[in-house]
Chain A
């Protein structure tokens, strides 16, 4: 009835069983897939270049993970990995675009960040990445939380699971971290 688990799934399983080498094999595949998908998105370049990290991650997940065999823990781990990779992909792409068209009225790559709004107000990915890096250097836990939520698209509950804290704590910390990032983004913009 079910075929043996696919490579990626097998690696995920192995990793969740403590096999660290599996992660090494896993990351490039996931990274590659995310990039592959992201490139497709980037190709449909619209003026506002809005992009949804979570949609990419979902798509990658479906492509890579053999649903028959991956355990639910694996999904958490997948998204944890994917969140970090997603962030890298987006930032690398944004930086590359800036470098390639320096000074030419570049439209920053934005992420959709408003649920349900008809005109999303984006956040410049590069600026956010820098701000997040700063946040993480001061408060590593909270930086990870933001990364999982924002780039991995995990819900409050899932983030809580991933970090072993209660959803209430996630909500609380998320609010503070968000305010911190907004303040940081504003102050950097004025420099």
Chain B
């Protein structure tokens, strides 16, 4: 059942929350008829909400108080915490020497760690301390102890101007939005306060100090009526050097606690040039001063909005609501406000001294100067004496602090940043196939798109890293081992074992570059000179080269057998195109004894760079990355001198390594690393019987990388190919009666393609224990000697025995004609002869139970289809059985049905009609393609079998992750991996 929509959850949750707890159950039941999942979820959420009242609250902006009552900082004894702003905790403390209370403001940890910042801070603090003014909150000094640094400030008792306005005017809306219209302060009171602020500002501006964060919350009024401007210039200190807009939170040192503890604080007092991050000078203070004066008079902020972005918009674009000013506001003050709130700083009031003059005059001028009002004139005493009595003369420090950063939502939503490491999981339609031979991935040099093998090895997928959808490229045969051209426009790949091809990244027809004649591909690389260097598992040649447009291969190297070299594989161009890295595999030992070497294309000289490694690539960070023992290692590399210049360091430990030892990882020039993580290894397949209705009955054989199940004719045992962790391939037997798994072949090479003799006594198979894969025979119970049937230079894989036991039918990779169907008499002269030999690929031939027909797959039509020919005289006819593609045919034991796999892996069946000539019913799907059907270039044989009575099929269930189409493998993408590489493997 899919999860409820967010809208449903939210609406229901809040509706229920609004009810009394006793009523909630009934409400939920009523709202959720037919939606038990929604009801249960909301119910659980409500209980979680009730049960954890304080858990998972947002962490406080301010750090937890680090000081407690009684702690001493120098001569100061902490008494109590006062409040917390984003920039530090504030405490009340007692100066034990002078017997007065002070405010201690603990500085953020950045100041303890950053010496330079601290030094700047001390310089600034000294300047501020020199500001000795009755209306400026004083700095007494700073203390350092307990690992903290703290400012010691004048403790000012009393409410802030913000409190005063709020008390008078009613609450302001959120973020300073206009609250209910209420009276501001009395005009005289407002003007009197403004005068003191202006005094303070004037004194500071004279000394070149700007406040930058002037606002009502920073202005205090003592019980005696004295105005003190606080936190003067402190935001600048926090910001560091320069006179630019400060983006820290304005510290609020108030006994009443902070307004909201906002990181970014309020934007309402920010000047337009601050909003635009332009230079700030004393005129920004004057703007803020105008805002403060307006607010005192009207009870509302000059610029406000529901959100901060609205506030900014108002500051930049909208006019102040002048009509909100009380009628008793003198016109000179209106003019003053207009000049202060001039958006263009050039046209704004320049000097706060001018403001002070206006204010003085307005306060001393008798009432008739005020604008006429409808109500009867009320004589307001505006005498000097009254003013003086109410407020002492103060100079106001009002350098407006650049308001803290605020946000404008011109960009709709913040782009989700690409974090440095993430996993992409292709959809099941575009699932990754781990083929087992080559890398299944490639990445464009610019790091924007990856190409990978998918759909059970029948297609390539192209996917941009920042998108979800992948583009499928079909018509490529059996593509694997993709590699990109340097311009990222072309994908090179190998089609099965037949040919090296290329296709445009954006799709199109595949172009054949070179034939590989059945040799397994072992790496290819596209150079800047528009040539392709590649290698195959044909040990006669090492590296070969062709022009990127296609052509006859030039052999570049041949392995030196006498020198212990088995083959030259996995070439990778260096960026200059003049040399190629490659791997030398040893004649003795595993890949751990391989070497990384470099071939100079001009001179032909080969030089070994690393012993005990393989699959090396050059990284633009100045490293070689290569595989060793299932990990990726990096080693610093000097490109100019083509030399290794430091020790190797493991850098990625969890990469899937294919049985050929190829790490499934790629790195783009821009440093994007993509790899298939382990945990996706195909080692957990299981066996299962499936009937025609799709019902499964598991077979209790343990999970392994099973490949070719072959039921003995007597139905008692199952021969299987198992690939182990080291890539060793062997034949095992599963006894269906006794439920035991026993091993048949033991040599370290590849032993595969088991075929039962009709008497269920012997197994014929192919093995490379003595050279190229040839045909062998052994008693199924392991007794007796292993018999060699053929000695071949070409790979041979047996697939069937004729029912009279006379002939073995097998596939051979013949140079020039690719894979062909051959036959070997099992008695007599034992000379193999071709049965079906064409330039196309023919494989997986099966003989019908009556011995009259041969079914096999061939790709002469462009894709593999199933064909049937008469047997043993195959030349008298050919009929196509499958439509839309088919591989891996199998006869039913009664000869009345022929099965095969569709490209999706679905099991198909045709009914055989009796007669002298071939006739069959149209194909019908029996089982959907959710079983393991082999992949790519390695597992091309038949991966299923049928029970003797034809009622059930023996299928392989895919292992965890990799070869499962139901649970697609994720790819790990690490961007900017070069940074990590440089850090892990420093180059001196």
Q: Is there an interface contact between B241 and A77, defined as CB atoms closer than 8 Å?
A: no
Chain A residue numbers with a CB within 8 Å of B405 are: 70-76
Interface size bracket, B side: 35 or more
Q: Is there an interface contact between A114 and B57, defined as CB atoms closer than 8 Å?
A: yes
Q: Is there an interface contact between B247 and A77, defined as CB atoms closer than 8 Å?
A: no
Partner of A1, one of B46, B114, B279: B279
Chain A residue numbers with a CB within 8 Å of B55 are: 113-114, 121, 123, 182
Return the CB mask of A137-148 against B: 1 if under 8 Å, else 0: 011011010000
Q: How far is the CB of B262 from chain A (nearest CB, A)?
A: 5
A117 to B65, CA, bound (A): 10
B541, CB-defined interface residue at 8 Å: no
Chain A residue numbers with a CB within 8 Å of B109 are: 55, 59
B824, CB-defined interface residue at 8 Å: no
Q: Is there an interface contact between A112 and B64, defined as CB atoms closer than 8 Å?
A: yes
Q: Is there an interface contact between B276 and A67, defined as CB atoms closer than 8 Å?
A: no
**Which chain B residues in 167-196 approach chain A with CB under 8 Å?**
174-175
B63, CB-defined interface residue at 8 Å: yes
Chain B residue numbers with a CB within 8 Å of A73 are: 405, 407-408, 410-411
A176, CB-defined interface residue at 8 Å: yes
Partner of B57, one of A23, A66, A113, A167: A113
Return the CB mask of A25-49 against B: 1 if under 8 Å, else 0: 0011001100000001000000000
Q: Quick one: given A70-B247, A180-B9, are A158 and B14 in contact (CB under 8 Å)?
A: no
Chain B residue numbers with a CB within 8 Å of A149 are: 58
Q: Is there an interface contact between B108 and A24, defined as CB atoms closer than 8 Å?
A: no
Q: Is there an interface contact between A178 and B56, defined as CB atoms closer than 8 Å?
A: yes
Q: Quick one: given A2-B242, A120-B64, are A84 and B54 in contact (CB under 8 Å)?
A: no
B975, CB-defined interface residue at 8 Å: yes
Q: How far is the CB of B175 from chain A (nearest CB, A)?
A: 6
Chain A residue numbers with a CB within 8 Å of B45 are: 176, 179-180, 182-183
A161 to B262, CA, bound (A): 13
Q: How far is the CB of B269 from chain A (nearest CB, A)?
A: 13
User: Which of B413-421, B517-525, B802-810, B917-925 lines the interface with chain A?
Assistant: B413-421
A23 to B61, CA, bound (A): 26
B52, CB-defined interface residue at 8 Å: yes
Q: Quick one: given A67-B240, A153-B58, are A81 and B417 in contact (CB under 8 Å)?
A: yes
User: Which of B69-77, B302-310, B359-367, B894-902 lines the interface with chain A?
Assistant: B302-310
A88, CB-defined interface residue at 8 Å: yes
Partner of B10, one of A63, A166, A173: A173
A180 to B306, CA, bound (A): 28
Q: Is there an interface contact between B174 and A153, defined as CB atoms closer than 8 Å?
A: no
A175 to B56, CA, bound (A): 10
B784, CB-defined interface residue at 8 Å: no
Q: Quick one: given A63-B114, A176-B45, are A76 and B407 in contact (CB under 8 Å)?
A: yes
Chain A residue numbers with a CB within 8 Å of B3 are: 138
Return the CB mask of A106-148 against B: 1 if under 8 Å, else 0: 0000011111110011010000100000000011011010000
B638, CB-defined interface residue at 8 Å: no
Q: Quick one: given A28-B979, A67-B248, are A115 and B57 in contact (CB under 8 Å)?
A: yes
Chain A residue numbers with a CB within 8 Å of B417 are: 23, 27, 80-81, 84
B354, CB-defined interface residue at 8 Å: no
Q: Closest B residue to A148 by CB, please name it.
A: B414
Q: Is there an interface contact between A23 and B418, defined as CB atoms closer than 8 Å?
A: yes
Subset of 23 A-B contacts with CB under 8 Å: A1-B243, A2-B241, A2-B279, A3-B241, A27-B420, A52-B60, A52-B64, A63-B110, A68-B239, A68-B245, A72-B247, A77-B414, A81-B417, A113-B58, A128-B56, A150-B58, A150-B59, A157-B264, A161-B408, A162-B413, A179-B45, A182-B45, A182-B49
